[in-house]
Each structure stands twice: as C-alpha cells, then as structure tokens.
Amino acid sequence: MVEDDVRDLLNDRVGIFVGGSTEWKLATMAGWCRLAAEKNVWCHVGRVNSMQRIKTCQMAGATSFDGTNATRFSKNQPKLTWAVRQRTLDLKEPT
C-alpha cells in the first residue's frame, strides 16, 4: 500500500493507522504522517513499545500511538511515560 492508495479516502472521519511489520512501519511512517498532516487527519501508529519507537513516532509527526509494553510489564511504565513527555526539537525546515 502506498499513500496514493488512500489519499482520496481521508477526511474528518477517516484517518491513518500505521501497522504491519516493524520494517515496513519504520520505513514508511514519516510518509504516512506527512500525508495525515497534509489532509489534516489523525495518524495513529500501532505496536509502539519502546522509548526509541516513541521518539521515532514523535519525530515522524504521529498524532497518537499504542502498545502493550506498559500494561504487560508495569516496571517499564515510568520510562515510557517519561519518553512520551519529552519534547523533541522540530527539525523541519520553516515554511
């Protein structure tokens, strides 16, 4: 699936869910997030279970994400919460 496959389907009630294999998700996430921003819709990323993956979602511009790490392994919850609360520099060029 590529962005043009869904571009015309996106609207105020239909956003983007990024799932699939880890490799595909990491390779395509930024493009999906850019399309979501262009169309002013939500971009949600599934299976985000590490501090690095949270940062990747933030840098790509994901609107939201989910994962089961914190509920399955409660000892990880504080560090994942910390990662969510960290601000990242916006490295995009000014418009």
- Which percentage of the chain shows pLDDT scores above 70? 89
> What domains can you pick out in the chain, each with its CATH number?
3-85 (3.40.50)
Mean pLDDT within 37-60: 95
Confidence at residue 42, expressed as pLDDT on a 0 to 100 scale: 97
Beta carbons within 8 Å of 50's beta carbon, 6+ residues apart: 69, 80
Confidence at residue 94, expressed as pLDDT on a 0 to 100 scale: 44
For the entire predicted model, the pTM comes to 0.81
Mean pLDDT of the chain: 88
Rounded to 5 degrees, what are φ and ψ at 42?
A: -75, 140
